[in-house]
Chains A and B, each alone.
Chain A
Amino acid sequence: MLAKNKKTKFRYVWNFPGFGGWTAIFFGFLYVPIFVLVCYSFNSSKFAMIWTGFSFRWYAKLFSNDDIQTATINSLIVAFAAAPLATIIATFSALALVRGGEFRFREFSNGLITLPLMVPEIVTAVATLIFFASLGINFGLINVIIAHTVFCIPFAFMPIKAALEAMDPNLELAARDLYSDKTSTFKTITLPLLTPGILSGFMLAFVISIDDFIITLMVAGGGSTTLPVYIYSMVKMGVSPEVNAVSSLMLGFSIFIVSLYWFFNRKINN
């Protein structure tokens, strides 16, 4: 009887001592600060951490702040330009690497594409800055778009490559066998089946671009400030309730993008 108890004791993960407590602490650390931030964005006090009452005052102030609006528009322009570009490049890279057969430097190219994920961002940032400066490339926001496209490629590449690898290569052969040429096989089989992967690659690239700070800080000249860079400059002068409000809006936007992705993903799978 005792032996049997011992055997079944750790069969379920919640039977481990302290499982519930540790889980609660973990999620607490992760989400309580964000929750508090969102709560305080509705605070009517002008001191960030003293609650005096509920108000939309800081949101209203946000919408009358031209600098914040310019920064937000810049961020959206950059993300909506860089993420699709990165996704397209990543898709073709993944197709070449996964479906392109054996060619020279195949493994090497694969490593090279994903390497930026491991390079410290500050290194990329400084390198990009020097690169632009030495070539005299100075097109304002376009500089930022080029930089974002480049560092978003590996993020878009990973999920697309994974989706392509999970796809049965016989499906494409079956289509070819059924009188479909290469172009129509790509259009009718590969692309539709790859869409969830491409969407998640796009979403990841988009979120990474919207969120990026270090590289943007280096590359962005005057007039092409993005939202994270602007928020940082606000925080330098002390955490105001306005920062809470703008951060909450960014959070809401991210959640919206992710929900959109899940929605489309479910639609495609059914």
Chain B
Amino acid sequence: MAMTEPEILAGLGKIINEITGIPATEVTPEKSFVDDLDIDSLSMVEIAVAAQDEFGVEIPDDQLKNLKTVKDVVNFIQS
């Protein structure tokens, strides 16, 4: 059963808040992880590890580097 975008956003917001302290409300689709949310590469790996557990998906390293925005992650999880 595919999750809806708001469900994924809520889950991602919680993960990103837990890892970086950024308020979950700031985790909106158009935000870039590096440019807007100031998330470094190690934190991005932490987020990916948590997202894999939360959403039950595998995010291979060669895919991870293409996930530039929150929307990219939402699309990846939905695909």
Partners in one complex: no
Residues of chain B having any CB pair with chain A under 8 Å: none
Residues of chain A having any CB pair with chain B under 8 Å: none
